[in-house]
Amino acid sequence: MRQRTLKSRITDPSETTLAWVLLTPAILFLLLIVAYPVGKLIYNSFFDIRLSGGSLPSFVGLDNYKMALEDALFWKSLKNTVIITVVTVPGALVAGLGLAMLANMPFKYRWPVRLALLLPWALPLAFVGLIFAWFFHSEYGLVNDLIRRIDLLIPGLGWQSQIWFNSPALTMAAICITTIWKTSSFMALILLAGLQTIPASLYEAAEVDGASKWKQFTEVTLPLLVPSMLVALIFRTLTAIQSFDIPYNMPGPGDETKTLAMYIQSNTVDYLDVGYGSTLAVFMFLLSMATTFVYLKYVRGDKE
Amino acid sequence: MSGLFSSKRLRWFAAALVILNGVFPALWILFTSLKTETELTQKPITYWPHEPTIGNFISAFQDQPLLTFLTNSLIVAGLSTLLSLFISALAAYAIARLRLRFRGLILTAIIGVSMFPLVTLMVPLFEIMRSLGLLNSYWALVLPYTVLNLPICTLMMVSFFQDIPRDIENAAMLDGCTRLSALWRIVLPLAAPGVATAAILAFVNSWDEFLLALSMNSAVAYRTLPVGIQLYQGEFAFPWPIISAALVVAIVPIVVLIVIFQEKVVSGLTSGGLKG
Amino acid sequence: MRITSLVLALGATFALTTGIAASAHAQTVKVFVGGQERPEVMRELFAKFMAANPGVKIDLETGGATSELQQKYLNTVLSAGDTTLDVFLIDIIRPAQYASAGWIESLDKYLGADRDKIMGQYLPAYKQANMVDNKVVALPAFADAMFLYYRKDLLAKYKLAPPKTWDELAAVARTIQAGEKNPELQGISFQGKAIEGAVCTFLLPYWSQGGELVTNGKLTLDKPKAEAGLAMWRKLVDQGVAKKNIAEVATDDTRKEFQAGNVLFAVNWGYAWNHFQDGAESSVKDKVGVVSLPAMQGGKPASCIGGWQWAVSSYSKNKEASARLVRWLSSPEVSKQLAIKASNLPVYPSVYQDKEVLAANGWFADALPVVQSARSRPVTPRYSEVSEAVRVNVNSVMAGVKTPAAAVGEIENRVKRILR
């Protein structure tokens, strides 16, 4: 048994003590900034709090939750959120992987490629939505302009310019394209970091063993990228579930392309129906928890 | 990853693709910032400005204190990134390396922060900042942004720390190094790409943030860029040329900063780094 | 003797210092105004007030650039009971919501016995919009309404008079469109995008037929009239009088396109006029006429009121000074100043006929009858939700995604639930 003098306790603490000391700042911040708002949120979801009604908050138990389950707009916004998530998460992964691999190639001048990778990230999200809404504008947007030009160039192609925001399906497509564009660089950045930690020696060894380029990719690159991919995927998914800025600034016809985050924002900030807004937020949290569990389970199952 | 595309032309094509993908909206913003309002709504649409003008840039600086907004954004994003990195490095090391009973629970709690949309936390957060007397100050934004970036920074660093073999640290500790200095001198440098990436992600997240900045720092002296830029709007009008000019001013320093930073990381890695 | 003079000296000093202290103890009133409300003009006005009221200092804070953004900001800070803002300028659709949330102070006791006389001087729609439960909760700053702008040169060319009904408008538009053979010329441009203006799009033909949306806080939707109104707009699109992507068109798009000479009739707010007469930017200078919006067949013309109101925060620590400021800001003299300096439409009918005002804004003479006939959108605490229900469905009809009947059914369901 080692002598535990006070000095040695401070300069060389046991592992568990050290662990907790290291975690203290994080826990402190979480408690201060997050615990109170989240606690209040969950608490509020059991009350009918409508600030613009002049009535006092009243306890309603699970009524808000029942109301949500019967609310067609809740289901519609949930559906749109799920569509965006299911399309843009794999989409951004594939696009990001492609971009990362391209950016990792040896070029004479690397900085333009890296710059191009970072520019989508540097553009403020709110403005990306507005800019792409303009790109997809039926009259002044460059998407329709390009369609017209390409159609003129290639006879018999029959491409027609669309009124994108008149159709729910086309609007969703535009939203997904924009989201993938913006977030593929997020993915690419994380994957690039992962790619760079794969030692070159592994590829050389595989080459010596006669593995083809494709096999190198599947047997060396992909497996070693999985940890970084997982991190990227978890956050991309959580962000996708909370999609707001892009769908908000690229509105489709009527209500058809609203997302859950937009519905929460309308209820909480515009209608001042804090109780119902909190309930919807709890649903979003449950969805996020469920998705994270799936990811983590996959990780644990894979590591066994 | 060398050798997947062997011919040089293919590499140039690939580079061109990546560059075009990233750059076209930024180019569009640049071109638009040089156009007049009427040229923007001409049909057929123009790409290159036919009558370029720098009037938009002049207006952008005259109508608003753009430089103030830029400075504020830099300070807020920079401080919150540093704070985030520091706290999450400590926490990630604890989670990745040390014997900890509730490891999974703590990690979930940290990730759990990301599971709530910011809009729902806004009003209680505003109340907290108000009662702490921090409204219209840098801390009103730095503190929440630090917490918002904790999950991604922590998770990234956990995954990178876990990839570093323990032997290196154990060897150092046998030589008399304490755990903390092992973290600082050995683990962090080896995980540099992860740390750098986490830094960039955190920085840009804070840079982009709009909702909190709108509510907390409404005073002009502390206003950040996203909030400031939307003020060029009129009740009904959205002057793309002026806003594009403001966006150009907003993006350029960020890009310069990031390119320099990224380059340092890459050169640091290729010189030393991991071996088999 | 020396003691007496000492006491007198002390007394004098005491009186002097407390006098100084009293005037140094000035109250600061913090005013929040949107970035688009001409803060520089506001500052001039505040300087005048401060000169006349030495004990009061006014601090101006400018915020979000649109009604929506300001509302989001104010909603957040007022939900948390923020005490730093004393006075704010809010859109005409907000007083009922803010009053019932307990955020704005009733001004009755500050207006005193003159209250009814004061309120009677304003245009009637403003009196209605600013009184909730028979209490005055805000005072109007300036007015606005929706007008029908038209190309008087083109109408003169084809010897046609400005239309009095929507059907006439469609006929006139088609005649001129056919005659001009210009594929870019739109017959009419209006707001089809799901913005606040789309609520007006719904209400204009609806009101014209005598329909009421909300009475005494309850939904009183006349479905056939609502359907007829939406069908009228839809027909304009189908006939080619309005363009196919009208669902993308917001207020300023209409203004820009009319200004570029591509529109025959435009439904828009008052701000558009000065743009049209801007010689440097406008292709339609001196070619623009202004008239009341058309009516539905057999109905009366109707317009939508706009404009902004001054309110005092109920969390303010300087209510008395704030109320004084607000009352002055809403006075005929200030209304005249705003009309001359910022071209804001006045809220007092008398100011429209003031010579100096007319010299600066000749068209106010034509504008007055329209503003007088304009009506306020439903005054209810739940206006945000009602507005959303209506505008979203108008947009669906304009995009061709819903039929007028389906849209009206949806409006009924949603508003009924909202106002339960």
Task: Supply the mean pLDDT for chain B.
Answer: 80
A270 touches chain C (CB under 8 A): yes
Helix-helix angle A111-122:B8-33, to 10 degrees: 40
Q: Which H or E run contains C45?
A: helix C39-52
- CA neighbor of B255 nearest in space, from B74, B84, B83, B85: B74
- Of the candidates B38, B123, B231, the beta carbon closest to that of C76 is on B123
pLDDT at residue B7 above 80?
Answer: no
Residues of chain B contacting residue A274, judged by C-beta atoms under 8 Å apart: 123
Residue B22 C-alpha, separation from nearest chain C C-alpha, in angstroms: 27
Question: SS3 of C189, please?
Answer: strand
Give the rounded distance of the alpha carbon of A100 from its chain centre: 18
Q: Do residue C399 and residue A269 have CB atoms under 8 angstroms apart?
A: no
pLDDT at residue A176 above 90?
Answer: yes
Residue A250 C-alpha, separation from nearest chain B C-alpha, in angstroms: 15
A251 touches chain C (CB under 8 A): yes
Whether residue C387 contacts residue C196, with contact meaning beta carbons closer than 8 Å, is answered with yes
What digits encode the pLDDT tens for the residues C209-252?
A: 999 988 887 889 999 999 999 999 999 999 999 999 999 999 98
Q: Do residue C271 and residue B122 have CB atoms under 8 angstroms apart?
A: no
A18 touches chain C (CB under 8 A): no
pLDDT band with cut points at 50, 70 and 90 for residue B134? confident
Residue in B53, B134, B218, B240 to test binding to C, most C beta-carbons within 10 Å: B218
Residue A20 C-alpha, separation from nearest chain B C-alpha, in angstroms: 8
Q: Give the integer Cα–Cα distance in Å for C319 and A153.
A: 69
Pairing state between β C56-63 and C288-291: unpaired
Give the rounded distance of the alpha carbon of A111 from its chain centre: 27
Q: Give the integer Cα–Cα distance in Å for B200 and A192.
A: 13
Q: Do residue A34 and residue B20 have CB atoms under 8 angstroms apart?
A: no
Residues of chain A contacting residue B91, judged by C-beta atoms under 8 Å apart: 22-23, 25-26
**Dihedral in degrees, nearest 10, Cα atoms C93, B227, B22, B113:** -90
Question: SS3 of A234, please?
Answer: helix
Q: Give the integer Cα–Cα distance in Å for B55 and B242.
A: 8
Q: Give the integer Cα–Cα distance in Å for B109 and A30.
A: 9
Q: For residue C369, is the peptide bond before it cis, meaning its omega torsion is within 30 degrees of 0?
A: no
Residues of chain C contacting residue A269, judged by C-beta atoms under 8 Å apart: 72, 75-76
Whether residue B156 contacts residue B126, with contact meaning beta carbons closer than 8 Å, is answered with no
* List of chains touching A (3+ CB pairs within 8 A): B, C
What pLDDT is stored for residue C295 in this prediction?
Answer: 93
Residues of chain A contacting residue C381, judged by C-beta atoms under 8 Å apart: 52-54
pLDDT at residue B179 above 80?
Answer: no
Residues of chain C contacting residue B218, judged by C-beta atoms under 8 Å apart: 61, 63, 73, 77
Tokens of A268: 């909480």
What pLDDT is stored for residue A114 in this prediction?
Answer: 75
Whether residue C201 contacts residue C394, with contact meaning beta carbons closer than 8 Å, is answered with yes
Window 66-85 of B: residues touching A by CB (8 A cutoff) are: none
Residues whose CB is less than 8 angstroms from the CB of residue A147 and which lie 6 or more positions away in sequence, other chains included:
A159, A160, A161, A162
pLDDT at residue C280 above 50?
Answer: yes
What pLDDT is stored for residue A180 in this prediction?
Answer: 94
Question: SS3 of C205, please?
Answer: helix
Determine the average pLDDT of the residues in A114-134: 84
Q: Do residue A254 and residue C100 have CB atoms under 8 angstroms apart?
A: no
pLDDT band with cut points at 50, 70 and 90 for residue A7? low
Residues of chain A contacting residue C402, judged by C-beta atoms under 8 Å apart: 254
What pLDDT is stored for residue C221 in this prediction?
Answer: 92
Whether residue C329 contacts residue C312, with contact meaning beta carbons closer than 8 Å, is answered with no
Q: Give the integer Cα–Cα distance in Å for C151 and B232.
A: 30
Determine the average pLDDT of the residues in B217-234: 81
Q: What are phi and psi of C218, to 5 degrees?
A: -120, 150
Q: Give the integer Cα–Cα distance in Å for C311 and C139.
A: 7
Residues whose CB is less than 8 angstroms from the CB of residue C334 and which lie 6 or more positions away in sequence, other chains included:
C45, C328
Determine the average pLDDT of the residues in A96-110: 78
What pLDDT is stored for residue A304 in this prediction?
Answer: 38
Q: Give the integer Cα–Cα distance in Å for C196 and C182.
A: 31
B271 touches chain C (CB under 8 A): no
What digits encode the pLDDT tens for the residues A186-210?
A: 788 778 777 877 787 888 888 888 8
pLDDT at residue C345 above 80?
Answer: yes
Residues of chain C contacting residue A270, judged by C-beta atoms under 8 Å apart: 71-72, 75, 384-385, 388
Residues of chain C contacting residue B215, judged by C-beta atoms under 8 Å apart: 73, 76-77
Q: Taking an 8 Å Cβ-Cβ cutoff, which residues of chain C contact chain B?
A: 34-36, 61-67, 69, 72-73, 76-77, 79-80, 82, 84, 184, 250-252, 255-257, 260, 269, 271, 281
Residue in B236, B238, B240, B243 to test binding to C, most C beta-carbons within 10 Å: B236
What pLDDT is stored for residue C142 in this prediction?
Answer: 92
* DSSP code at position C345: B
What pLDDT is stored for residue C16 in this prediction?
Answer: 47
Residue B126 C-alpha, separation from nearest chain C C-alpha, in angstroms: 7
Q: Do residue A166 and residue C245 have CB atoms under 8 angstroms apart?
A: yes
Tokens of C158: 């084809």
Whether residue C105 contacts residue C319, with contact meaning beta carbons closer than 8 Å, is answered with yes
The structure tokens 């293919």 sit at B10
What pLDDT is stored for residue C207 in this prediction?
Answer: 94
What pLDDT is stored for residue A13 in this prediction?
Answer: 59
Residue C145 C-alpha, separation from nearest chain B C-alpha, in angstroms: 14
Of A146-150, C62-66, C136-140, the least confident: C62-66
Task: Supply the mean pLDDT for chain C.
Answer: 88
Q: Taking an 8 Å Cβ-Cβ cutoff, which residues of chain C contact chain A?
A: 71-72, 75-76, 79, 97-98, 100-102, 193-194, 244-245, 247-248, 381-382, 384-385, 388, 392-393, 395-396, 399-402
Of A54-63, A83-92, A141-150, C404-413, the least confident: A54-63
String of DSSP letters for A263-290: HHHIIIIIS-BHHHHHHHHHHHHHHHHH
- Of the candidates A123, A192, A195, the beta carbon closest to that of B25 is on A123
What digits encode the pLDDT tens for the residues C91-136?
A: 999 999 899 888 999 999 988 888 888 899 998 889 888 988 889 9
What pLDDT is stored for residue C20 in this prediction?
Answer: 45
Q: Do residue C101 and residue A54 have CB atoms under 8 angstroms apart?
A: yes
Task: Supply the mean pLDDT for chain A.
Answer: 84
Residue C103 C-alpha, separation from nearest chain A C-alpha, in angstroms: 9
Q: Give the integer Cα–Cα distance in Å for C57 and C244.
A: 53
From residue C190, alpha-carbon distances to A302, B144, C3, C233 in Å are 58, 43, 84, 9
Residues of chain B contacting residue C82, judged by C-beta atoms under 8 Å apart: 130
What pLDDT is stored for residue A263 in this prediction?
Answer: 93
Whether residue A187 contacts residue A95, with contact meaning beta carbons closer than 8 Å, is answered with yes
What pLDDT is stored for residue B6 in this prediction?
Answer: 60
Residues whose CB is less than 8 angstroms from the CB of residue B216 and which lie 6 or more positions away in sequence, other chains included:
B125, B126, B129, B135, B136, B140, B141, B144
- CA neighbor of C146 nearest in space, from C125, C172, C167, C170: C125
Q: Give the integer Cα–Cα distance in Å for C217 and C195.
A: 23
Whether residue C125 contacts residue C379, with contact meaning beta carbons closer than 8 Å, is answered with no
Q: Which residue of C has its CA nearest to A52?
A: C101
Determine the average pLDDT of the residues in A249-266: 91
Residue B76 C-alpha, separation from nearest chain A C-alpha, in angstroms: 15
What pLDDT is stored for residue A69 in this prediction?
Answer: 93
| Residue C409 amino acid letter | G
pLDDT at residue C6 above 70?
Answer: no
**Percent with pLDDT over 70 in chain C:** 94
Between A16 and C124, where is the model more confident?
C124
Between C419 and C3, where is the model more confident?
C419
What digits encode the pLDDT tens for the residues C250-261?
A: 998 999 899 989
Q: Which H or E run contains A19?
A: helix A15-29
Whether residue B18 contacts residue A103, with contact meaning beta carbons closer than 8 Å, is answered with yes
Q: Give the integer Cα–Cα distance in Å for C250 and C79.
A: 30
HEC letters along A57-111: CEECCCHHHHHHHCCHHHHHHHHHHHHHHHHHHHHHHHHHHHHHHHHHCCCCCCH
- CA neighbor of A63 nearest in space, from A49, A79, A81: A49
- CA neighbor of C296 nearest in space, from C210, C217, C371, C362: C210
What digits encode the pLDDT tens for the residues B74-115?
A: 999 999 999 999 999 988 888 887 777 777 788 888 888 888
Residue B136 C-alpha, separation from nearest chain C C-alpha, in angstroms: 11
Determine the average pLDDT of the residues in B138-153: 90
Query: C350: phi > 0 → left, psi -120 to 50 → alpha, else beta; which?
Result: alpha
Window 197-256 of B: residues touching C by CB (8 A cutoff) are: 214-215, 218-220, 230-238
The structure tokens 């998705």 sit at A291
Alpha helix (H) residue ranges in chain B: 8-33, 37-40, 55-63, 66-97, 103-112, 118-131, 139-163, 166-174, 179-182, 188-190, 192-208, 211-216, 225-230, 240-271
Q: Give the integer Cα–Cα distance in Å for C417 and C411.
A: 10
- Of the candidates C248, C388, C396, the beta carbon closest to that of A137 is on C248
Q: Do residue A284 and residue B116 have CB atoms under 8 angstroms apart?
A: yes
* DSSP code at position C317: S
A237 touches chain B (CB under 8 A): no
What digits encode the pLDDT tens for the residues C13-57?
A: 544 444 444 444 578 899 998 877 788 888 899 999 999 988 889
Whether residue B198 contacts residue B88, with contact meaning beta carbons closer than 8 Å, is answered with yes
- Of the candidates A40, A117, A121, the beta carbon closest to that of B18 is on A117
Residue C160 C-alpha, separation from nearest chain B C-alpha, in angstroms: 30
Q: What are phi and psi of C393, to 5 degrees?
A: -75, -35
Tokens of B169: 């640290």
